[in-house]
Each structure stands twice: as structure tokens, then as C-alpha cells.
Chains A and B, each alone.
Chain A
Amino acid sequence: MSRARWTLAVAIALTLLLAWFVLYPIAVVGAEAANGTAWHDFLTRPGEWAALWASLWISLASVVLAAAIGIPLAFLFEWFDFPGRKTLGALIALPVVLPPLVGVIAFLFLYGESGFVARAIQALFKLEQAPWRLQGPLAILLVHAYSMYVYFYLFTRAGLARLDVSMLEAAQALGADRRGTLWRVVVPLLRPSLAGAAILTFMTSLGSFSAPYIFGGGFRVMTTQIVATKLNGDLPLAMVETVVLASVAVVALLILRRTEGNDILVALGKGIAPRPRPIRRAGVRRLTTIAGWGLAVLLLLPHLTLGLVSLVPYGAWTTEILPPVINFDNYRRLFSEAERLRPLLNSLWMASASTAAAVLLALVAGWLVVRQRVALRRVIEGLLVLPWALPGTVFAIALAIAFSTNAPLQLRFVLVGTAVILPLAYLVRALPLTGRGLLAAYRQLDPSLEEAAASLGAGRWRTLARVTLPQLRPGLAAGASLAFVAALGDIVASIVLYTYETRPISIEILSSLRLAETGVAAAFGVVLMIVSAVVLGVGARR
């Protein structure tokens, strides 16, 4: 009995802790926004409505564009065989694992008005000015489409891989031609995958900050509008905007969830996936190969450009097509100047701390939810995944407001301005990643393994160390590496909550860009990219 009571006590403690830093700050913002007078401001200013509308249509358009790129790519790589299929197929999924900020500045250096391409065209045609300015909604959409097609690509490929080839054969045996099979069998079966990708793309676009922040110019979406209002010091209005964005996100998620349909559709298809068909006609085959490779290069070009820019010393590259000087000056400065090394170290320790905490909480949650099946398990699971459903901006503002007042009786403390607040913000965002990874791994773990350990005389801690943790390791590593990379590349929480002492890489990249130190910014970007890739590579190892 006392054991059960102890379990319950842990469950309650965990629930309260999660509620305190995940739910409570949002509740504070909601309550204060409801009491304030800023609703009038929000409702009467056209700029606010414009930002809300912009957020919605940009997100919808991002879904359409990402689908238009990702779905055909998935069919191409899953159903047709051509030289380099496997390597390319893996390569073009890369953008999804890199921090959005890296993608955005890479895009800037390639297609921006002083980017590689614009510069080349300017030099080629001897233009006075850059041929275009990469700004406004179109630029944002371009970046979104470029980074988010991967969701559709991966989800569709996974869906196609789960298809049962005998189902396609059955359709053909029943007289359906190839197109009929596609529309009447394949597409309906893919629906859950496509809906999943659409939800992910929509929610990511809605919460996207770095692309609108850097390419928006005067064009504002809700995320950038909120941060701008907050930085202008109009807290009441910022709170109202936050509540609006959070509500939109929740409503959108609820609506989109309904499109997902029945999972049974997928579960049924438990057969052999269709094998990729070699393309017979030599001409088509050559064309497909070229197109595939061309596409891959196109998609990876921004990151290559980032590498190139990082090698150009400050002020050395002016009007030439190719940089006249290339060396490691920027990297040398980055690692030798104390003030530049600092953000790197800041980011590393804050990401490590938040990841470690997120893993620990996920472990306790997994044990309580899956193994002990405590009464609070749905609440705990809900709190774990809630940060996934709401844009990062919402949490950034909520934490900034809830923890800038000292009111111990309301469980509010001044954390803003201390070294704790950014790791806490990263932790909130990390919870869904480690939580999902761990819960999934825990559910797959055969309980009789732990029982076997117990029957062999292993106590609770020995069982945890020797059996449970080794078995959970893949899920744990995957979740932890994603959480670490997300913390490392975070920008919106950082902008709202950083102090000079605790400034992370993303802030340093932005200030380098502002000072036109593109080389240093790019070098930071490359470091971020490499660390992320290494961490994710380690995390994905079995």
C-alpha cells in the first residue's frame, strides 16, 4: 500500500511541476489579458488584423507549396529506381533536421539581395543595383516551402512504404487502371500520412519566427508582431496577441485533427510494400536521374553557400561573383575572441541542461504513465505534449510575463534576467520531443523483461540501469538529440528572454548580421549546423 501511495505522490509532484512551468504561465497571460484594456487596441488596429490574417494565409499557402514539392518527390523516390536513389533520398530530407535559423540565413546568403545568386546576376548584366530584394510574404513562403516540403516528403514516403502491394494488385485485378488505382486506392490510404504532414506544416508555419523575422521587412505575422510589441514595451497588447495566437493554434489543431481520419486504414495494410520500379526507357531514366540530382543540389545549395560565406573574411567580398579571399579567419575569431566564444558556450550549456532535465522528466513520466498507469496519466501526457501544440512565441511571452514578478504566494518568481530562464524556456519546448520518444519506447518495452530482472534478484535500481535504460536508449537518444538541437537553434525564446550574459548563438548570429559581419554569422551558422548534425547522428545510432 505504501508503495502505491509513494507512486501517487511522485505522480502528483510531477503533474504539479509540469503544470507550474508549462500551463501556469499561459494561464497567467490569459488571466491578465482578460483583465486588461488592450483588447480594444487589438480589435481596432488594422495592423493586428493584418498580422493575424497574414499568419493564417502564409500557413495555408505553406502547406500547399510544401505538399506540391514534397508529395511528387516522395512518389519519385519511393516508386522509381534510378542511380543514386538511396543517397539522394536521404540527402533531401536533411533540411528538416537543421535549426530553421540556419536554413534562413543560408537562404539569405544564397538568394538574398546581396546573396550569391543576386550578386552573380548583377555582375553578369552589370546592373547598378541588386536585381531583387528578397523580402515580404513571397520570401517567407519560399523559405517555408524550402524547409517544410520535407514533412510531406517523409510522411508520404512512410505512407507509401506501408502500402500493401497486394492491395494495388487487387485493384488492378478488379479492373482499375493505373490512374484509377492511384486515386481510388493509394490516395485514400495515404490520407492519414498526408493529413499528418499538413498538420505539422501548418503548425510549424504558424509558429515560424526566424523566416518572417529576417525576411518580413515591414510585413508582419503574429509571431513577429508579438515580439515587436513586447520589445516596444506594450505588454498588455503583447499578452492579448499571445492569447489570440494560442487560440488560433488550438482551434487549427482541433480542426486539422479531424482530417486525419481513421488510423485503421494504415493498420490494415500490413503486407509487403511495392518495390521501386526501375525506369525502363533510357531517355526518361536519364532525365529522372538528372532531375533528381539537380533537385538535390538545388535544395542543398543554401547550406553549401553558408559554408562558402563563412570562409570570407570581413569586408573582403564586395562586387565580385566569387569571393577573392578564402581563409579560416572567421572561425579563428569565433574561437579566440572571448566575447564570441561566449555565446557558443552559453548555447551549449543551456541546451545540455534543458535536455538533461527534459530527459529526466520524460523518464519519470514514462514510468508513471506506461508502467504504473497512474490515474493522472492522461494529464501528465497532455502536459508533456502541450508545448508542441502552441507556437514557441506563446511560451516565450508567457514565461517572460509569469516570471518577471516576485509573488511567491502565487508561485511566481523573478527568473527573467537570470541564467535560469532560457534553459527553462528550452525545457518547455524540449518536453514533447523527449516525452514522445520515451513514451513510445516505454510502450514497446516488454514488461516481462523488467519482471525477469526482478525474478533474477535485481532490485529496482539495478533493473533500471541494466535492463530498462538500455532498452529505452534508442528512443531516449532520438528524443534527446532532437531536444538538444531545438534548444541550440532556438531563436524566439532567446530574443524575448536573453540577457547579454546569457546570449545564445542565435542572438549572436542576428547581431553579426546587423553589423554586416556576414562571415562571422555564417561561421556561427556552420558551427550550429555541424554540432546539430553530429548530435542527431549520434542520437539516431542504434
Chain B
Amino acid sequence: MDALVGPARAGNRTSALSGFLEIRGIEKRWSPDVAVGPITLDIARGEILALLGPSGSGKTTMLRLLAGFEAADEGRIGVGGEDVTAVPPARRRFGMVFQHYALFPHLDVGENVAFGLHGGGGAGVEQKVSQALALVDLTGFERRKVHELSGGQQQRVALARALAPEPRVLLLDEPLSNLDPTLRERTRRELRHVIKRIGITTVFVTHEQDEAFDLGDRIAVLNGGRLEQVGVADELYERPVNLFVATFVGRANVFRGRAARDLGGEPTPDGQVLVVRPERLQFGASGLPGVVRELRYTGPATFFLVEGEDGERFEVLAQPDAARIDERVHVAATRVIVLPEPGPRR
């Protein structure tokens, strides 16, 4: 196991500011209307970066560009100072875990994990296979058939297979989307634990905010082929740079006009909107007036769906007994985010 966790990999965390994996103005044009990029992004050695975005945002294309399965039309990709833009996947030394794992069905678990291990001969390969399997807690699974495994086990075999050749970068395509929800959360923790122990630089794709927050050190939000914002979780949540990030990451109420003025205490400038997270709204004696229309009970707190006087609807997260349906309430904001009204996209 130490071979995989070796010092070369653990890396030098102090140099985290310099990019180990450098993405410079990378662009892929599918057609005149559909393109991904240009995207520039630096990922530090040992960092886990989440590519978060709705379907069609270009996150999978981005991952495939990194893996080398798609050729970029513009830009370059560097790793550890080496330009790998034109290096074919087979020589790029990037490990990849596919969405449906892509385990070879005609090979057993051990053969799958050994696939990327060249040379060295029998004993060395065997040892590396068992180390890789031990890493994902599948010791002794070498001779098992792939289709006999559960979904979670298959996912771990795919991870072990990708890690065994000691790649420079690990890529994960929706690594948890094929698992059932209860398993997902646990696997997420285990996955992060394994990756951090090895210290491998990792990029993974997800469309779920929870997953991105939980697994990623930083999150890059993609939309319509463009990079909207990169940052750690609370940055994205508390200081979104635009309305897309504000509404895609976490729940957000958007206020305009009179409602915005009532909440913000002063008129919002032209071309600006007010964004307030549900937990930053509270019921009080004064503020924006409205009527509670629906309740959604979630256990520790309750979402109150409130309709304002201009017909606008928004959510307030509060104690379950804070209000009742049809009750007239006043709502005040404890923290507001002012963002520009999105114009037509270029």
C-alpha cells in the first residue's frame, strides 16, 4: 500500500498555489452554436476539483478533454510543467473512473486491476494488484467475476484499476451516480479518504451540489460551456458572482422592484437583483409583507412558501412552529446578496 501512498505522490502541499494541472484557454467547438470553453483553470497538486454544472454544461466534455478522448480546438493542458495537449490518452498517464465504470466483463477483478500494469513480471504485478485492492477495501477479490459484484464494489474496482498504474491525475466521471442514495453518502466519504491518503490530484464531474461540496476541495461551476466561478464551497454559496451560480448552488430567493426595496431597506440600483438564501430570511414585526401558502417539513427546520403582495413567491427556512398556513407575516433579511440582472448571453 505504501507504494501507492509513496512520498512522490503525497506531494508538496505548500506549493498548492502553483498549478500542477494547468488548463489554459481550452476550447472544444462541436458546432458554430455549441462550444465548450475557453476555460482556464489551475489545479494544485493533491487538490480535488469538482466540475459542477447542469447537463449540457460541458463538464463531461471538459473531463474528456483532460483525459485526451477529445481533441481540443484551442488551448493547452499541462501537467507538472509538461504540455500534454497532444499526448494520446494511452500515454497521458491520467487515471479515469467512468460513469458506468467500464470494467472489462471478460476479465476478472484482478485482471481488470492489472490491465494498466505493464512489465515487472508476475510477482510485482500481483503485489500491486493486491495493494490497489486493499486500498479500496476489496482484499482477496482478485478472482471474482466482475458481474458478480455489487454496484458499490464495481465502483471500487474501477477506482483501484485507475489508481494501480500510479497515474499523475485521477479523473472521475459522475463517480457516484450509479449508486443508490443511502450508499452514495458513505461512498463519498470513503472516496475522499482514499484520494486524500494517496494525495493524487483529482478532477471529478458531478451535477449534484452536495457531492461537489462534500468531495471537492474547490468547485468549478460550469454553465453553457463556460466557467462561471471557481472557489471553495462557502465562497460559491455566500459570494456567488452571478445569478446562475447563486441559484444553481443552493436554494435562493430572487427579489426585484418593490419587494427588493422592502427587504434591502433601500432601492436596488437598476439592472441589479437581490438574492437571499432561505435561512437568511426570518419572520418579524416589520419587513416584506406576505401570506404563508405552503409548508414543507424537513425535520430540523421547515420551509415556508410565502406569497408577497405583488404575487412573488419565496421560501423562508425557519423553526417548524414559526408560522402557520394562511398566516399573514412580515419577512426580514439578515443577509442579502446584490447581483447584476443577467443580460442576454453572448
Given the known A-B contacts A451-B102, A467-B104, are A457 and B96 also in contact in the complex, defined by CB atoms under 8 Å?
Answer: no
A-B contact pairs, 6 of them (CB 8 A): A446-B102, A448-B100, A451-B69, A451-B98, A455-B171, A456-B162
Given the known A-B contacts A458-B115, A466-B115, are A446 and B93 also in contact in the complex, defined by CB atoms under 8 Å?
Answer: no
Q: Is the CB of B106 within 8 A of A456?
A: no
8 A Cβ contacts from A453-468 to B: 453-460, 463, 466-467
Residues in chain A near residue B69, CB distance under 8 A: 451, 454
Asked if A471 is at the interface (CB within 8 A of a chain B CB), the reply is: yes
Determine, out of B83-91, B180-188, B199-207, B222-230, the stretch whose residues face the partner at the interface.
B83-91
For the complex formed, measure the closest distance between the CB of B207 and the CB atoms of chain A, giving whole angstroms. 18
Q: Is the CB of A457 within 8 A of B165?
A: yes
Residues in chain A near residue B162, CB distance under 8 A: 455-456
Q: Is the CB of A454 within 8 A of B102?
A: no
For the complex formed, measure the closest distance between the CB of A491 and the CB atoms of chain B, giving whole angstroms. 38
Given the known A-B contacts A454-B88, A454-B90, A458-B90, are A470 and B106 also in contact in the complex, defined by CB atoms under 8 Å?
Answer: yes
* Residue in A451, A458, A466 whose CB lies within 8 Å of B96: A451
8 A Cβ contacts from B93-110 to A: 93-96, 98-100, 102-106
Tell me the count of chain B residues lying within 8 A, CB to CB, of chain A.
Answer: 27
Given the known A-B contacts A446-B100, A446-B102, A457-B90, are A451 and B115 also in contact in the complex, defined by CB atoms under 8 Å?
Answer: no
Residues in chain A near residue B98, CB distance under 8 A: 448, 451-452
Closest to A455 in B: B96
Q: Is the CB of A457 within 8 A of B93?
A: yes
For the complex formed, measure the closest distance between the CB of A373 and the CB atoms of chain B, giving whole angstroms. 14
8 A Cβ contacts from A423-460 to B: 446, 448-449, 451-460
* CA–CA, A459 and B69, complex, Å: 13
* Residue in A448, A456, A471 whose CB lies within 8 Å of B115: A456
* Residue in B100, B106, B161 whose CB lies within 8 Å of A471: B106
Given the known A-B contacts A446-B100, A448-B100, A466-B115, are A455 and B94 also in contact in the complex, defined by CB atoms under 8 Å?
Answer: yes
Closest to B99 in A: A448
For the complex formed, measure the closest distance between the CB of B45 and the CB atoms of chain A, giving whole angstroms. 20
* CA–CA, A470 and B104, complex, Å: 10
* Residue in B89, B91, B105, B161 whose CB lies within 8 Å of A451: B89
Closest to A446 in B: B102
Q: Is the CB of B90 within 8 A of A452?
A: no
Query: Which A residues are closer than 8 A to B by beta carbons?
Result: 446, 448-449, 451-460, 463, 466-467, 470-471
Q: Is the CB of B93 within 8 A of A452?
A: no
Given the known A-B contacts A454-B90, A455-B162, A457-B165, are A449 and B115 also in contact in the complex, defined by CB atoms under 8 Å?
Answer: no
Asked if B67 is at the interface (CB within 8 A of a chain A CB), the reply is: yes
A454-B88, A460-B90 known; 12 new pairs, CB 8 Å cut-off, are A449-B102, A452-B96, A452-B102, A452-B104, A454-B68, A455-B95, A455-B96, A456-B165, A457-B91, A459-B90, A466-B104, A467-B104
For the complex formed, measure the closest distance between the CB of B77 and the CB atoms of chain A, giving whole angstroms. 14
Closest to B105 in A: A471
Q: Is the CB of A449 within 8 A of B95?
A: no
Residues in chain A near residue B151, CB distance under 8 A: none
Q: Is the CB of B106 within 8 A of A457?
A: no
Closest to B92 in A: A455
Asked if B75 is at the interface (CB within 8 A of a chain A CB), the reply is: no
Q: Is the CB of B89 within 8 A of A454?
A: yes
* CA–CA, A457 and B167, complex, Å: 10
* CA–CA, A92 and B240, complex, Å: 71
For the complex formed, measure the closest distance between the CB of A463 and the CB atoms of chain B, giving whole angstroms. 8
* CA–CA, A454 and B104, complex, Å: 13
Residues in chain A near residue B171, CB distance under 8 A: 455
- Tell me which of B115, B161, B171 has the highest count of chain A C-beta atoms within 10 A of its own C-beta: B115
For the complex formed, measure the closest distance between the CB of A528 and the CB atoms of chain B, giving whole angstroms. 33
